[in-house]
Structure 1
Amino acid sequence: MAQGRRARRVLAMGGVLALVAIAGSRAPAGDDPTHRASAVAPHDLARGRSAALYPYDGRRDMTGGDRARYPGAGVLWCRRSDGVPQKAAAAWLIGTASLVMLNAHNFRNRQLDTTRSVGDCYFQIGGRNYDFVADSLRLGVAANATRLHITDDWALLRLAQPADAPRQPVPEAAPDLSTGDLALPVTLVAPGGHQNYRGDSSLESCTVRRIDPPTEGGIRRARHDCNDGYGGSGSGLFDEAGRLVAMQSASLSMNSRHAFDIEFHYGSALLIEGELLDALRRAQREDGSRPAP
């Protein structure tokens, strides 16, 4: 319990929630400007260098083979106030040809105020764009919630028409991981890339270092040492067998290049378990019972 209270204090003190690693090439309107204090330095951009979260940056571009190994990897695009589309975050076609999983913070801020309309966004996968059903947004937050946390930072959306692309399978079971310190090798798959990385998408081998006790929705947070940047929200963490175990939500001190620290400088992902896994299975059953379009 003490560890859980400490994790909540970290969130409250720094506003550390997902909006640190919020979707998009720049932080959205309404985001706390203090979270942008350590953005990519101009001289780093000028020299073509990345500004990673940690001193070592092992990210590389995704290949066709990577996309075959991690199906369902797509991108959320949203229109700015002037109508120009911009890349927002990673998103996953999962379970069925019409179901998309992504972060709730793409549409709500920490206080659960609406920051984007579903109608202003679309899903891109396999070189094609797909509109969402505007009223299909399912948020992970409870009905009486007043804040958005790491462990309820998930959302599901339905596509207006099925996507003609491979999809990520819904996990057969929750990750068999013990709460506490560990060293789980994972691959962070970022189909939307990161602002602090040169490519349009990236992949990196890294490690989950701690699993926190369950909080909202019976879901646990995974603390990891994977590099992240704006636009990396919603990226998938896969184990060595290629199973999806978690979805990226936030990172501390974006682009600071500090050494990993389990208490003060780490990435946060929510495990695919609890209410999220239940919601994925339920949506898959619902799609299976619908007549073909």
Structure 2
Amino acid sequence: MSDRMVFGLFGAYLLTLGAAGFEGPKAPIVDIALYPQDGRRLMTDADLARFPGAGVLMCYSDFGALERGAAAWLIGAHDLVVVNAHNFVDSKLVPTHPVTNCFFRIAGGDYYFDGDNVRFGAAVESKGLHITDDWALLRLLQPTPDNVKPQPIPDASNIITGPGMKVTMVAPAGHSNTRLPATIELCEIHRIDEPSEGHVRRARHDCNDGYGGSGSGLFSEDGRLIAMHSASLDMNLQRPFDIETHYGSAMLFEGDLAKAIRAAVETPR
């Protein structure tokens, strides 16, 4: 199944997720998982030390309320942040939320974005946002201090297509379907698809997710950031994982995404 076909399935959810990050669900849901088994636990200080780039995209809603939008990562440099593009555009790449209405929160500090220095994963000629180009790179107006360290530059080059692997999902912004403000979970990628948009592969996983969990990082057993979560189907229904109809979708850090990160790190603002 191509990414274009999959986005047709995920599109409604992405649109909902983009809005829910800023306005929140109408009736808050607590302690309901995407799958029957929920292994999420609270992130600790030790976890934050293991995953130093973990931060939160904070945004003002249309009503002026400040809310957690999604997970965000300080990546490779003290002024470079990666998030999902669907926080700012819809499935047809129409802007929905200004970058300058948001900021990056990490280690107790707030850092604002340079609205003129944003790169989206979708190609200029693209007519829509797909799972594997649902990323955005943003520059901070001021870099984080030396004690707030970025996540090392991700590298998924040794991840093979097809077979899955055990991973850890790190969700620094938490999910709306758990009381925990930031979560971590041991889970599994069941299949890695062939490359699609931007020479990036989609990973189908069984990590529990909830509104606000987009951008969560998937880490390999040796502690490397290898993928960024983008969307899930049928939220909160506690259905068993199904490789074709009920799975989480993440994009590997490779192809155009990995090249863009390396180029940004090697060419400081």
Deviations 1:254-286 (A, max 9, x none): 111100000000000000000000000000011
Pairwise CA distance, 1:40: 9.3
Aligned in 2, Cα 1:218/1:76: closer, same or farther, shift over 3 Å?
same
Structure 2 unaligned blocks of 5 or more: none
Determine whether 1:223 maps to 2:204.
yes
Distance in 2 (alpha carbons) for counterparts of 1:143 and 1:118: 18
Determine whether 1:264 maps to 2:260.
no
* Alignment-derived partner of residue 11 in structure 2: 15
Amino acid paired to 1:207 = E
In structure 1, which of residues 51, 69, 77 is the aligned counterpart of residue 58 of structure 2?
Answer: 77
Determine whether 1:162 maps to 2:143.
yes
- Normalising by structure 1, we get a TM-score of 0.86
Aligned in 2, Cα 1:10/1:217: closer, same or farther, shift over 3 Å?
closer
Written as runs of structure 1 = structure 2, the 5 A alignment for 1:60-139 is: 60-139=41-120
Distance in 1 (alpha carbons) for counterparts of 2:46 and 2:117: 32
Amino acid paired to 1:178 = I
* Over 6 Å off, 4+ runs: 39-42
Determine whether 1:177 maps to 2:177.
no
Q: Does structure 2 conserve the Cα–Cα contact (< 8 Å) formed by 1:16 and 1:252?
A: no
Distance in 1 (alpha carbons) for counterparts of 2:23 and 2:235: 12
Distance in 2 (alpha carbons) for counterparts of 1:185 and 1:40: 34
* Alignment-derived partner of residue 51 in structure 1: 32
* Alignment-derived partner of residue 125 in structure 2: 144
Pairwise CA distance, 1:122: 0.5
Distance in 2 (alpha carbons) for counterparts of 1:71 and 1:13: 33
Q: Does structure 1 conserve the Cα–Cα contact (< 8 Å) formed by 2:22 and 2:67?
A: no
RMSD of Structure 2 on Structure 1 (CA): 1.9
Deviations 1:112-140 (A, max 9, x none): 11010011100000101111001111000
- Normalising by structure 2, we get a TM-score of 0.94
Q: Does structure 2 conserve the Cα–Cα contact (< 8 Å) formed by 1:21 and 1:251?
A: no
Pairwise CA distance, 1:72: 0.6
Q: Does structure 2 conserve the Cα–Cα contact (< 8 Å) formed by 1:187 and 1:206?
A: yes
Aligned length: 267
Deviations 1:133-162 (A, max 9, x none): 011110000000011000000000000001
* Alignment-derived partner of residue 32 in structure 1: none
Pairwise CA distance, 1:220: 0.3
Distance in 1 (alpha carbons) for counterparts of 2:35 and 2:213: 15
* Alignment-derived partner of residue 192 in structure 1: 173
Amino acid paired to 1:52 = A
Pairwise CA distance, 1:174: 2.9
Q: Does structure 1 conserve the Cα–Cα contact (< 8 Å) formed by 2:161 and 2:192?
A: yes
Aligned in 2, Cα 1:281/1:25: closer, same or farther, shift over 3 Å?
closer
Distance in 2 (alpha carbons) for counterparts of 1:62 and 1:185: 19
Q: Which has the higher strand share?
A: 2
SS of 1:231's partner is: coil
Distance in 1 (alpha carbons) for counterparts of 2:43 and 2:26: 22
Distance in 1 (alpha carbons) for counterparts of 2:189 and 2:16: 19
* Alignment-derived partner of residue 250 in structure 1: 231
* Alignment-derived partner of residue 240 in structure 1: 221
Pairwise CA distance, 1:239: 0.3
Pairwise CA distance, 1:27: 6.1
Amino acid paired to 1:176 = N
Distance in 2 (alpha carbons) for counterparts of 1:40 and 1:240: 37
Q: Does structure 2 conserve the Cα–Cα contact (< 8 Å) formed by 1:51 and 1:196?
A: yes
Pairwise CA distance, 1:14: 5.5
Q: Does structure 1 conserve the Cα–Cα contact (< 8 Å) formed by 2:121 and 2:257?
A: yes
* Alignment-derived partner of residue 35 in structure 1: none
Pairwise CA distance, 1:175: 3.5
